[in-house]
Amino acid sequence: MKLLDLFRLVINNLSRRKARVGLTAVGVVIGTAAVIILVSLAIGLQKNATEQLYGIGDLSLINVYPGFGGEMFAGGGGSVKIMQGGGGEGSGSTDMLLLTNSALDDLSAISFVQSVIPREYLQSSMIMKFKKFEGGSGVYGIGTNDLADLGLETQQGSTALSRATVVIGYMVAQNMYDPTLRPGQEPPLPPDLYDQQIQLVLSKWDADGNEIRKNISVRVSGILTESGSEADWSIYMPLEQIKTLNEWATGIRVNYNKDGYSEVLVKVENPDHTLEVRDQIITMGFQANTMLDFVQGINNFYKILQVVLGGVGAIALLVAAIGIANTMAMSILERTREIGLMKAVGATNRDVLAIFLGEAAGIGFIGGLGGVLIGWLAGQGLNIVAVVYLAQQAAEQGGLPPSVAVYTPLWLPIFVLLFSIFIGMVSGLYPALRAATMIPVQALKYE
Amino acid sequence: MTSSPLIHIEELKKHFQMGGTTVRALDGVDLDIQAGTFTVVMGPSGSGKSSLLYLLGGLDRSTSGQISVSGERLDQMDENALALFRRRTMGFIFQSFNLVSSMTALENVAFPMQFTGTSIAQRNESASKLLEQVGLADRSHHRPSELSGGQQQRVAVARALVNNPSLILADEPTGNLDTASGIAVMQLLSDLHRSGRTVLVVTHDPRMTRFATHKIFLLDGHVVSEAEYQSAILDMTQTVPE
Ligand SMILES: Nc1ncnc2c1ncn2[C@@H]1O[C@H](COP(=O)(O)OP(=O)(O)OP(=O)(O)O)[C@@H](O)[C@H]1O
Ligand SMILES: [Mg+2]
């Protein structure tokens, strides 16, 4: 039997029983529409979340911390320094794998690593002052002379780090306040700190609990572009400078080559290799983490949500499948003599099977088409309503307004349509097989 | 005629298991039918006429025995081969017409050609021609419910011819028809015979014998002679209580 003749016959047979085919297809319509809407919703949510997460940080950046040894890696073992015994405190073996310069060399040697940059945070409390404004932010010393190595960009000034200057994040100035302001007074506009001298007031306490202050003056040589990440809230200075400040704060001389850095940022050539480099670093015995883990966790969550919601829709499709099986079984019973006739005039078992499978698939297709259309339209409707509502919410509470609530990628309707055809065929398989294997005389004699 | 017969049947048995008992619909039938004949199979109800016809048409499986048609052993063919064989060589006519009620006369006649890969134009042309041949050219677009029984059976005859079969098998084709329509159908079958086809008709209708070249008599699943048959029929009518 030619494919074209098969199609023609299937379409004719289906149009012979419009009412029943239509009613059966409604089940499929509901199921597929549910799948489309629910999965589109999950995808929409994921899209929003990823958009919100976009600025969470550089996904090619790995934060590396001293490790507890872990698995010693062969080969470079000799270049990794292990600090013995925790300074006589004697709490067992606390061998630390330190981030010394030679360890940094080992990190640089990992393939796909673009740069390895130590980072130290200020180990004292600090208040930042500018004119009448005060504020606080995390202060970091970075082991590079250009923040561009970390993928940072400035909106004003340059990313270069030099002595007695700082590069500050976008929110640092925004976050300053006037401490003399009384309640009810209009807060002043945040200051423009670019190219200004600002004061950093550091505090430490002596053994008697007296506060000792140190006042340093630095020039703001750059303001970073807003990124939505930690950098927005940070003040960056050269590593040398933070070393001096920390030595003052702790009263202990720092020898990075002996004690190691407290943190190292490893920048990978591109995010595709982040996890693999991270794993290698962990194998070397250091602690390492990356924002990519977090983002992937969230992505996985939405993948699961898609599957779960798709599954809910699929249950509706299952009910529809039972409907198709029922309709086909009825149809085959009613058309038993017709099946006998087909066989008498020379239709093979395969012809009969193809015809009935085709009809079942046709019901699936009709229902799927309707469901995809309705699901898509409903999704668009939902978008219009939800985006307006969510944009209002975002305006009230701050944050990025969502671009979509429900998102239907092209693959979804195609997949759902194919799936509904498949469902139709699976449901029709048993009835169609029964039709195909009927003994011709019995079918012809059937009353 | 010395040529090998079109149909050759040997020791053919068809038994049905009904609960504990065995119904012997055919119980050792031997038969030869030559090509180009018009054979009428006669016999009382339940004698196995339909069973024989369906086995000959490859629509059922025998319990044992041989059936050859054009030298091919139907009892050794698989389902697929049987279907292709039916398609090529046989045309069926049933007592109850078996037309598809949702299709027009033309579509019903063209129905078998869907499976042969004939083009649509060719199908319509052949079907129209055949409808004309059975005198129903003006009824092409009527559905079965809009046709009389006789007209429906003529549509069925046209359908049986559409694949140009060499063997026509008819199971009581006039059984559901009034006298006039019945004669018209018999006349059609006779025309087919005269145009060179082999026709085998199962019937109760004694008028059919007028057209027949050969007669086969069945009694309780056995082929018998005309004399045996007549006396058996006589016995039957005599034993019917007043
Ligand atoms: N599917 C079946 N199951 C059981 N018995 C059957 C079946 N088909 C036919 N028979 C039996 O086989 C015997 C022959 O049946 P068949 O239909 O061949 O008779 P027939 O000569 O065509 O009769 P009629 O003139 O009434 O059509 C009958 O006794 C019938 O009851
Ligand atoms: Mg019969």
Tell me A398's DSSP state.
Answer: -
Among B82, B66, B57, B76, smallest CA distance to B31 is for B66
**Mean pLDDT value of segment A397-404:** 64
* Shortest-distance atom of ligand 1 to CA B51: 18
Q: Which contacts qualify for A57-60: CB closer than 8 Å, 24 or more apart?
A: A57/A227, A57/A229, A57/A230, A57/A291, A58/A150, A58/A151, A58/A229, A58/A267, A58/A291, A59/A271, A59/A274, A59/A290, A59/A291, A59/A292, A59/A295, A60/A114, A60/A151, A60/A267, A60/A268, A60/A269, A60/A270, A60/A271, A60/A273, A60/A274
- Sheet of B64-69: strand order equals B21-33, B7-18, B64-69, B72-73
Is the minimum distance from the CB of B25 to ligand 1 under 6 angstroms? yes
Domains of chain B: residue spans and CATH: 26-104+165-238 (3.40.50.300)
Convert the pLDDT of each residue in A339-353 to its tens digit. 999 999 999 999 999
Is the predicted pLDDT of residue A80 greater than 50, yes or no?
A: no
Among B88, B25, B79, smallest CA distance to B52 is for B25
pLDDT, residue A425, reads: 95
**Mean pLDDT value of segment B227-238:** 87
- The set of residues, in sequence order, having a beta carbon less than 8 Å from that of B192 and lying 6+ positions away, is B157, B161, B168, B199
Convert the pLDDT of each residue in B62-73 to its tens digit. 999 999 999 999
Closest residue to atom 30 of ligand 1, CA basis: B46
* Closest-CA residue of chain B to A8: B114
Q: From the CB of residue A135, how many other CB atoms can be counted at a distance below 10 Å?
A: 23
Q: How far apart are CA B123 and CA B106, in angstroms?
A: 9
From the list B57, B83, B159, which residue is nearest A347 (CB)? B83
- Give distance in angstroms: CA of B170 to centre of ligand 2: 10
Is the minimum distance from the CB of B50 to ligand 1 under 6 angstroms? yes
**Token pair listed for A110:** 């990992």
Q: How far apart are CA B100 and CA B109, in angstroms?
A: 10
- Give distance in angstroms: CA of B166 to centre of ligand 2: 23
Report the predicted TM-score, pTM, of the whole model to 2 decimal places: 0.74
Interchain CB contact of A347 with B (< 8 Å) = yes
Helix intervals (H) in A89-216: 101-109, 170-174
Q: How many angstroms separate the CA of residue B43 from the nearest CA in chain A?
A: 20
Q: How far apart are CA A424 and CA A71, in angstroms?
A: 55
Longest CA pairwise span in chain B (Å)? 61
Is the predicted pLDDT of residue B242 greater than 70, yes or no?
A: no
Q: From the candidates B53, B59, B94, which should be mutated to test the interface with A, based on the most A CB atoms within 10 A?
A: B59
Is the minimum distance from the CB of B16 to ligand 1 under 6 angstroms? yes
Structure-token match 């990992």, residue found: A110
Is the predicted pLDDT of residue A73 greater than 50, yes or no?
A: no
pLDDT, residue A444, reads: 93
Q: How far apart are CA B139 and CA B133, in angstroms?
A: 12
Interchain CB contact of B114 with A (< 8 Å) = yes
- Give distance in angstroms: CA of B161 to centre of ligand 1: 27
Q: How many angstroms separate the CA of residue A418 from the nearest CA in chain B?
A: 27
Q: How far apart are CA A380 and CA B182, in angstroms?
A: 66
A378 neighbors A33 (Cβ within 8 angstroms): yes
Among A388, A361, A378, smallest CA distance to A413 is for A378
Is the minimum distance from the CB of B48 to ligand 1 under 6 angstroms? yes
Among A357, A346, A336, A285, smallest CA distance to A83 is for A285
Per-position DSSP letters for A279-302, written without gaps between them:
HHHHHHT-EEEEHHHHHHHHHHHH
B153 neighbors B188 (Cβ within 8 angstroms): no
A146 neighbors A159 (Cβ within 8 angstroms): yes
Q: From the candidates B94, B114, B126, B166, which should be mutated to test the interface with A, based on the most A CB atoms within 10 A?
A: B114
Q: How far apart are CA A168 and CA A190, in angstroms?
A: 14
Per cent of chain A over pLDDT 90 is 49
Is the predicted pLDDT of residue A90 greater than 70, yes or no?
A: no
Q: How far apart are CA A359 and CA B131, in angstroms?
A: 30
* Closest-CA residue of chain A to B165: A345
**Mean pLDDT value of segment B143-161:** 95
Confidence class of residue A54 from pLDDT cuts 50, 70 and 90? low
Is the predicted pLDDT of residue A175 greater than 80, yes or no?
A: yes
* Whether B87 and A345 lie within 8 Å, measured CB to CB: yes
Q: How far apart are CA A397 and CA A380, in angstroms?
A: 25
A235 neighbors A140 (Cβ within 8 angstroms): yes
Structure-token match 């606080």, residue found: A136
Among A131, A54, A25, A43, smallest CA distance to A383 is for A43
* Whether B79 and A348 lie within 8 Å, measured CB to CB: yes
**Mean pLDDT value of segment A2-12:** 93
Is the predicted pLDDT of residue B207 greater than 90, yes or no?
A: no
Q: How far apart are CA B214 and CA B33, in angstroms?
A: 9
**Token pair listed for B152:** 């429906």
Report chain B's mean pLDDT, rounded to a whole number.
92
**Token pair listed for A93:** 């073996």
- The set of residues, in sequence order, having a beta carbon less than 8 Å from that of B141 and lying 6+ positions away, is B104, B105, B106
Closest residue to atom 14 of ligand 1, CA basis: B48
Is the predicted pLDDT of residue B108 greater than 70, yes or no?
A: yes
Per cent of chain A over pLDDT 70 is 91
Amino acid in the structure at residue B215: K
CA angle A354/A350/A369 to nearest 5° reads: 10
CB-neighbour burial class of residue B41 (10 A; exposed 0-12, middle 13-18, buried 19+): buried
Interchain CB contact of A9 with B (< 8 Å) = yes
Is the predicted pLDDT of residue A93 greater than 50, yes or no?
A: no
Is the predicted pLDDT of residue A86 greater than 50, yes or no?
A: no
- The set of residues, in sequence order, having a beta carbon less than 8 Å from that of A221 and lying 6+ positions away, is A157, A158, A160, A162, A165, A166, A167, A195
Among B41, B19, B30, smallest CA distance to B215 is for B41
**Mean pLDDT value of segment A264-275:** 88
CA angle A437/A360/B108 to nearest 5° reads: 70
pLDDT, residue A401, reads: 64
Q: Which residue has the higher pLDDT, B239 or A380?
A: A380
Prediction ipTM score: 0.93
CB pairs under 8 A between A and B: 67
**Chain A residue numbers touching B104 (CB-CB < 8 A):** none
Report chain A's mean pLDDT, rounded to a whole number.
86
Those of residues 294-333 in A touching chain B at CB distance below 8 A are none
pLDDT, residue A55, reads: 58
* Closest-CA residue of chain B to A342: B112
**C-alpha R_g of chain A:** 34
Q: Which residue has the higher pLDDT, B241 or B59?
A: B59
Q: How far apart are CA B190 and CA B193, in angstroms?
A: 5
**Chain B residue numbers touching A439 (CB-CB < 8 A):** 59-61
Tell me B197's DSSP state.
Answer: -
Q: How far apart are CA B135 and CA B137, in angstroms?
A: 6
